[in-house]
Amino acid sequence: MSQPVVTRFAPSPSGELHLGNVRTALFNWLHARRHGGRFLLRIEDTDAERSRPEFAVQLLQDLRWLGLEWDAGPGREDAAAPYEQSRRSALYTAALERLERAGQVYPCYCSTLELEVSRRAQLASGKPPRYAGTCRNLDAAQRAARVAEGRQPTLRFKVPDTGKVEFTDLVHGAQIFACADLGDFVVRRADGSAAFFFSNALDDALMGVTVVLRGEDHLSNTPRQQLINAALGQPSPTYGHLSLITGDDGAPLSKRNGARSLRELREAGYLPEAIFNLLFRLGHSSAVLGMHDLATLAQHFDTAHLGRAPARFDFAQLEVFQKDAVHALTPERAAIWMQAHLPNGLAPETLRAFVAAIQPNVILPREVAEWAAVIFDDAAPAALADETSESRRLIREAGREFFLAAAAAVQASGTDWKALTTAVRTATNRKGPELFKPLRHALTGVGHGPELAPLLPLIGASRLQARFEHAATLA
């Protein structure tokens, strides 16, 4: 039997989760589920300046909200815990000491300025910049002299002078990096903390991770991480580097072209189903159509279908999925989803009736609020204040008698739609659109929307009558 699949998501809590991170989390989750494996969550919070505990807390909430529960990670510790890198420094120190004893790393005393000067010189002479090896062969006396100057060394990994690092990326195929191009890289910072390359590679090995799907920006880190693993005598996971996500304008998805954090999307009322169905297709082609739950998507997730081309985030498609997701909500979930946008103190049966009436017609809670205003506010719909509106034109065409008949019908038979339309038809001889359109516009100020019959009892007889009487004055 082949090795069980273990994937992980390893975010740095230096900001809110955006759609790029979320897709990475989703793909790792799906891949683990697809293969009956495990999905781990590791918080890469070693950068004390940029990491913030509140971002870590929020990203756990975000993942749970999406349904991407982890098999091990914060709050779900197992033998490989802790899952916060800030709590793992002893492990990094021990592994770095092993490399020191084996002579695979050496202290580098170069200052930031010296490194920058060297980098510019290499660029100026047309060479790709890499560490020049300045401190690689210092003898004990030279080291002591630098220490005496008060220099705090970093620790660099000794990359072999010759040879190459080869691996197969699940997305990009065969990769070959010449060691000579890599340059000795920092594995421990001057403050003693482990560098990203190192803690990331070590933890994947210690946690038994077999497959890493992560952003394309990490592809060039991978040969260094393979060297670290080889030096520590531990296996490297298989990597797949996911294509960039771009906005509508083809530029990388960012605030500028409309990217929003997961929190912002959630607060705007987007549902998890809409988001993960869209992300499933971002850089991953699939024959499966329509909306599905996570378990079904997992059955159709295939790393062989990951694309190299940048994936365009399609906001219109998000709306399509959102619409389907809203329509598919159970009445209970729909009520919860809408509740925050409804007037307080609605009776439970009113709430239920309202939710049922408008659910087929809304995509976002903003529209819920609009319908709530139309139905529960005493004021006439805003469009009726505008003389040039379609509503006012139709009201003028229908005429005063039409709305007086409607008001009288409400007075006579209350909120019954059938009785209302029959009475107005009999009184005015109008039928079809000539009958229905002016009624709808007078009541709602728009030409589209939920069926009117279930709305009338929610609007209530007195407001209905007032709206028709008001329309009569505008006709």
Q: Is 105 exposed, middle or buried (0-12, 13-18, 19+ CB in 10 A)?
A: buried
Q: How far is the CB of 42 from ligand GLU (least distance, A)?
A: 8
Q: Between 110 and 458, whose beta carbon lies closer to Zn ion? A: 110
105 part of the interface to Zn ion, by CB under 5 A = no
- Residue 108's binding partner among Zn ion, ligand GLU, none (Cβ under 5 to 8 angstroms by kind) is Zn ion
Q: What mask, x for binding Zn ion by CB under 5 A, covers residues 59 to 98? A: ----------------------------------------
Q: How far is the CB of 12 from ligand GLU (least distance, A)?
A: 4
Q: Between 133 and 215, whose beta carbon lies closer to ligand GLU? A: 215
Which residue among 6, 10, 99, 108 contacts Zn ion (CB under 5 A)? 108
- Residue 218's binding partner among ligand GLU, Zn ion, none (Cβ under 5 to 8 angstroms by kind) is ligand GLU
Q: Between 11 and 223, whose beta carbon lies closer to ligand GLU? A: 11
Q: How far is the CB of 110 from Zn ion (least distance, A)?
A: 3
Which residue among 14, 89, 122, 134 contacts Zn ion (CB under 5 A)? 134
| Interface with ligand GLU (CB under 6 A) | 10-12, 44, 200, 212, 214, 218
Q: Between 261 and 465, whose beta carbon lies closer to ligand GLU? A: 261
118 part of the interface to Zn ion, by CB under 5 A = no
Q: Between 310 and 460, whose beta carbon lies closer to ligand GLU? A: 310
Read off the amino acid at residue 131. Y
- Residue 20's binding partner among Zn ion, ligand GLU, none (Cβ under 5 to 8 angstroms by kind) is none
Residues that bind Zn ion (CB under 5 A): 108, 110, 134-135
